[in-house]
Amino acid sequence: MEEPEAAASSHVDTDWRRVSPKYVVVEVIGSLIGAAVLVAVMLLAYFLADQEWALWVAVAGGAIALVSIAFEPRRVRSIAYRLREDDLVFRRGIMFQRQVAVPYGRMQLVDITRGPVARALGLADLKFVTAAAATAVTVPGLPAEEADRLRDELVALAETRRAGL
């Protein structure tokens, strides 16, 4: 009896769909821009206002950004979603893992956004909004064609589930 359970658990793992590996580039560029702005402002405060503490903040901010960037590939690999019969399950996180199930019948809006870097890489973010604000879920880093296809599929599923309520 152990073999069917093992087969079932391996089937569940293969159902998870990961985001595009290109999404690492989007995250790294965003982190670099944020770090550059922080460091630039702190260096301006140090040189123009003679605030010695600002130099320490700039160094610490740069160091934290470098460590954060080192973890980006692993953080992106932790993002996945799975379509089940009645809901979409989304997971993310390395140390603090988050897993959210969004029932199809509760979806009120399925939105696609494309930032400039993601658009250049052919990626998009898919956002699901429900009546409960806490269950709003964004699946980032999907190939644009997959995001469009998934949006259409989820809208159709949501309409059929709501019609059955």
User: What distance in Å separates the CA atoms of residue 141 and residue 123, rounded to the nearest whole number?
Assistant: 5
CA distances from 148 to 1, 51, 79, 144, 145 (A): 41, 50, 19, 6, 5
Residue 165 confidence (pLDDT) above 50: yes
Q: Answer whether residue 156 is part of any domain.
A: yes
Reported as a single tens digit per residue, the pLDDT across 26-37 is 999 999 999 999
Whole-model pTM: value is 0.81
Residue 97, both tokens: 């893992």
Please give the residue that has the higher pLDDT: either 57 or 161. 57
Q: Answer whether residue 94 is part of any domain.
A: yes
- φ/ψ region of 93 (left if φ > 0, alpha if ψ in -120 to 50, else beta) reads left
Do 89 and 157 lie in a common domain? yes
How much is the pLDDT for 31?
94
> How confident is residue 15, by pLDDT bands cut at 50, 70 and 90?
confident
Residue 94: CB atoms within 10 A of its CB come to: 10
Q: What 8-state DSSP symbol labels residue 78? A: T
> How many domains in the chain?
2
Do 69 and 111 lie in a common domain? no
Q: Which of 111, 149, 156 is nearest to 130 (CA)?
A: 111
In the chain, % of residues over pLDDT 70? 88
How much is the pLDDT for 12?
37
**Residue 118 structural domain:** 80-163
Residue 7 confidence (pLDDT) above 70: no
